Amino acid sequence: MRYLYLPVLICVLLFAGCGASQDPREGGFFGGISGLGSGAYEERVEEREQRLSRLQQIQKDLDAESREIDAQKTDLREQIELERAHLEEMQNSTARLEQEVSRMSAGDAAGEKKVNELRSRLNDLQSGLQKQEQELSALDQLEGTHGHGDAGEEVDLRRRQLEEQRRYLQEEYELLLELALELSG
């Protein structure tokens, strides 16, 4: 009678082994032994290690890109501050020139016409400087969104345009200064 249960027990064990999964999380004891014996467990470990390695490389790439973007932002911020310093210097010079022009008076109609033209151009220059200051502030705010691709190129293009406008305003200031010197001398 004892031997009668033995074939039933062997059949149960064989059928349990046949239905075992190679996934150690699902296969139970016999599935785990089967997975270790067939190498499926090592394959799963290797696959996960490769996936981890890829993710680590992606993280390194993203970190490098982040450092590059931070460096670009720092560079742009420095350029904006330099432009702001140039603009402030021009505003101070323009204010001094305005004081000199306000003291000017011409004795004849032609001289008075030149002084009025100088005042008008000086007002235009001051308006241009105020506009430049507003655009620099807008660029400074836009710089915070500076990132990849088109946004970064847009910020850089706008910064170069503002530099060009500042150069134009500087040239206009120099012309007005020459005119003021001519009228006062």
pTM of this prediction exceeds 0.85: no
Q: What does the DSSP 8-state code read for residue 144?
A: T
CA pair distance 180, 64, nearest whole angstrom = 54
Question: How much is the average pLDDT of 117-144?
Answer: 86
List the domains of the chain with CATH numbers: 76-184 (1.20.58)
Percent of the chain topping pLDDT 70: 74
Beta-carbon neighbour count of residue 176 at 10 Å? 22
Q: Say what the pLDDT of residue 143 is.
A: 67
Structure tokens at 183: 């009228």
Higher pLDDT, 5 or 67: 67
Range ranked top by mean pLDDT from 8-12, 51-55, 83-87, 131-135: 51-55
Question: In the predicted model, what is the mean pLDDT of residues 30-37?
Answer: 62
148-158 burial string, b = 16+ CB within 10 Å, else e? eeeebeebeeb
- CA 26 centroid distance within chain: 48
Read off the pLDDT of residues 59-72 as tens digits, 9 standing for 90 and up: 999 999 999 989 98
Asked if pLDDT for residue 157 goes beyond 60, the answer is yes
Residue 111 · residue 179 · CB < 8 Å: no
pLDDT in tens, 116-127: 888 899 899 899
When mean pLDDT is compared across 68-72, 91-95, 155-159, the lowest value belongs to 155-159
